[in-house]
Amino acid sequence: MDTYKYIEDYIDDDLNNDNLKSFLDEVKDNKAMAEELNLRMEINNVIHDKGFNELKDILEKQKITSKQSYSSYSIRREVMRTWHMAAASFALVIVAGGLWYILSNKPYTTENLVGKYYKPAKSIGQVRSGQVSGNETLAKAFNFYKQNDYNNALNYFSSLDNQITSKFYSGICFIELKKYDDAIESFETVVNDNDNLYVEQADWYLGLIYLMNNQKENAIEKFNNIAVSDSFYADQAKEIVKYIR
């Protein structure tokens, strides 16, 4: 299986049913592929939602990883073109968006931190027969989610209560609706399951929810734990702890 091609086709919703089933079976049984898929989705999020520095950090981290993993190198090579094309516009956004906070060593307020680090998770482009039971309901949920209609999206996600995917995205909906206690419950379910692609993201969102909900001690504890782990978010967690007042 051409790992990179299948991951790209999956993200772009280009897998037919047979290939989709094979891919999902492989992801389930192949930890390296699951980690690679998670990385590729994170890179997509950075390209679309974050700043040039965040993308650069990911690519620099992959320089180290690539010494032990050729497949990670191939991913870094493929996104390098996008990195260079986006550099100029990202640089402008960074300057306009608050880089002066870091340069002047001024502390971030809670609102600043949430604004800098929180983005709703990207929706899954791929929801077809064979992926999950209740796929039609999940597809409807994502249609509303993509339109930022979080109330209707939540109604459909909630009807699939036994699915980790629906739990994770329910958590995002609850954040957007400022129902933080419900969001915490959803993400804790994902984290406690501990056998899915969303664990690190859910743990990260838990820390951000604590910030949003003015639970700073819980936030500091959560981000300290992430910072000393091998989580994708470790470096960002260190930054947040540094800037929390």
Tokens of 133: 């039971």
Q: Where in the sequence is the domain holding 172, given as residue range(s)?
A: 117-243
From 62, 77, 103, give the residue that closes a domain: 103
Most confident of 53-62, 109-118, 180-189: 180-189
Q: Are residues 97 and 130 in the same domain?
A: no
Instruction: Kindly tell me if the per-residue pLDDT of 112 is higher than 60.
Output: yes
pTM: 0.58
C-alpha to C-alpha distances, 228 to 142, 156, 178, 210, 231, nearest whole angstrom: 34, 36, 29, 19, 8
What total of structural domains would you count in the chain?
Answer: 2
CATH of the domain at 203: 1.25.40.10
Supply the mean pLDDT for the chain.
75
Alpha helices in 30-117 (DSSP H): 31-49, 52-66, 70-97, 99-103, 110-117
pLDDT tens digit sequence for 144-176: 999 999 999 999 999 987 789 999 999 999 999
